[in-house]
Amino acid sequence: MTARIPRELLFGNPEKASPKISPDGRHWAYLAPDEGVLNIWAGPEGGPAKPLTADRGRGIRQFLWAEDQRSLLYVQDKDGDENWHLYQTELAGGATRDLTPVPGAQAQIVATEPRFPDELLVALNDRDPRAHDVYRVSLKDGSRRLEATNPGDIIGWLADLDFKIGAAKAIRPDGGSILRLRQGEGWRDFLSCGPDDQIGAHGFAPDRKNIYIESSLDRDTAALLEMSLDGKSVKTLAEDEDSDLAGALVHPRDYHVEAAAFEADRVRWQVLDPSLAADFKAFESLDGDVTIVSRDDADAVWYLLVNRPDRSPSFWRWDREARKAKFLFAARPKLDGYDLAPMTPVSFAARDGLKVRAYLTVPVGRPARGLPLVVLVHGGPWVRDRWGFQPEAQWLADLGFACLQVNYRGSTGFGKRFLHAGDREWGAKMQDDLTDAVKWAVASGAADPKRVAIYGGSYGGYAALAGAAFTPGLYRCAVDVVGPSNLITLIRSIPPYWEPMKRVFDLRVGDVDKEPEFLQSRSPLFHADRIEIPLLIAQGANDPRVKVAESEQIVSVLRAKGKPVEYLLFPDEGHGFAKPANRLKFYAAAEEFLSRHLAS
């Protein structure tokens, strides 16, 4: 089909998403709209489902089955403030209660365990907004008791095989990390690294003598290791020279590690448990990158996500005994009536020789020659772009634009040298990588140098502002979504529970207390007089990460100088736009803006 893709099909709610099988395998649940809002639907496994929850706000985006087999759990905030509350909804009847009814606090699910079906471990920063303690919460009556107190530097918790807090990850004063193991009523340091390395824990081994560790110590890319609890032995289970460990598949009940994922251009699995080898081999016939998203206690049924760029994400039921896949549903099945664009992994050498990976999406049926180009910059910045279905890339290609998604230095997943090549390089070498990506696209013939835009959210929004301010003449227009304009006010207004990470910001961005002039030099706000191109800026009023002032201060300065800027403020959104009506309003404005300024 050659007709334009309606924006509603790309940016409205999915028809269904996130299927999860109940622990006993008798029921399933998934997200689907009810009265236009994403809610949990549940029913007999594989059969008809009905709405279980009745959210009428931003919609539910994260949920899981409780181990009691009688209820489901989900988190929800208020208008994007990220003060997540944890709710329990009964499978029979849909009665719902707030398990963490503490105003202003943020709940995080730590663990569930089938041997303790009526309990769960929850982290909550009710005592101190800067630190999440762990509570044992009863699913019978909602009561909770303190399980572990955060001394102030812990950013993550891990349950042991007895469903007690057995390990924690903390941030050192120098910005490095420490893994601690529980020892009696106290803790002992188990593994430590400086700020240039990455460590983490994926679970305790079934023998109770070892722990599965992610580590970049003595190597560039993070590997999956098995370490003895006494620290005397280390075994490398999986590693890849091109990419960091992207995930570990752990058996849901006996907790041995089964496979490890790595991702340079696309996801690749290393199977560690031979009993899964035939399953993963059979996944190749599903024609996409495969992720296991849910499995029952008996490990007889898996739900799979099959993801590729030119098709709606689809979910499948995998019968382990028969090793056969049965289609469950596509998230956006109406897209099947349209031709979607392929996404091609590409790479280029930055000006200092560093290899930079990216993804190029071009309009269907058109050669990659002389196209208007949109550089779509991911947020974070300490995350990465991935191969697969990307609504914005499809939208841009459908408008006739090439879309280039760049994993600039500072992106995660490509080893510690690549990550830390971005330290203190906001607006500098990180921005140079985006400039060099444009030059590569022009030199390859794909892009028209006179019709290039930069667009992104969060850090990507910062990069859009920086592109306008620091590289005049390169871009024709820029779109900034919830992007910081002033690195000083950004860092000084971080959420309180990010306080343990403050030293990481000092090292990777700049020290706001010791070098404000440096941060000012990298802040687009202070270089607004150099901005000549049109800007579209969009912001959520309740954003706890990038406060509304980050957008409003640069809008005010630009308007005072008579610069062309359009501004959209969404009063019921936070760090991004969750409500479909708001998303559609934004993308309609962005489409008109880009089409107007990238016209030939």
10 Å CB burial of residue 600 (0-12, 13-18, 19+) is exposed
Residue 495 lies in a domain: yes
Alpha-carbon gap, residue 511 to 100, rounded angstroms: 35
Answer whether residue 2 shows pLDDT above 90: no
**Of 27, 85, 378, 575, catalytic:** 575
Average pLDDT score over residue span 207-211: 97
pLDDT tens for 29-40 read 999 999 999 999
d(CA 453, CA 476): 6
Range of the domain at 87: 17-123
Determine whether 458 is an active site residue.
yes
Instruction: Give the domain CATH number at 498.
Output: 3.40.50.1820
Evaluate whether residue 481 is within a structural domain: yes
Token duo for residue 313: 């994400």
60 falls in which pLDDT band (50, 70, 90)?
Answer: very high
The whole-number pLDDT of residue 517 equals 98
| This prediction's pTM | 0.97
- Residue in 458, 485, 523, 551 annotated catalytic: 458
User: Which residues, other chains included, contact 531 with Cβ-Cβ below 8 Å and sequence gap of 6+?
Assistant: 465, 468, 469, 472, 524, 558, 563
**What pLDDT band is residue 3 in, cutting at 50, 70 and 90?**
confident
* pLDDT reading at 600 higher than 90: no
Mean pLDDT of the chain: 97
Q: Is residue 51 part of a domain?
A: yes
The residue annotated as part of the active site, out of 294, 543, 551, 597, is 543
Structure tokens at 240: 């890849």
Domain boundary among 123, 149, 166: 123
CB contact at 8 A, 49 and 28: yes
Residue 1, pLDDT above cutoff 70: no
User: Which tens digit of pLDDT belongs to each residue from 521-542?
Assistant: 999 999 999 999 999 999 999 9
Which of 89, 123, 157 lies at the terminal end of a domain, its last residue?
123
Number of domains comprising the chain: 2
Query: Does residue 382 sit within a domain?
Result: yes
DSSP H helix total and E strand total for the chain: 11, 35
The CATH number of whichever domain residue 111 belongs to comes to 2.120.10.30
- Give residue 458's pLDDT: 98
Quick check: is 216 in a domain?
no
Residue at 114 is within a domain: yes
Q: What is the pLDDT of residues 63-91, one digit of tens each?
A: 999 999 999 999 999 999 999 999 999 99
Contact 366, 446 (CB under 8 A): no
Respond yes or no: is residue 575 known to be catalytic: yes
Does the residue 210 lie in any domain? no
Domain boundary among 123, 157, 177: 123
Evaluate whether residue 233 is within a structural domain.
no
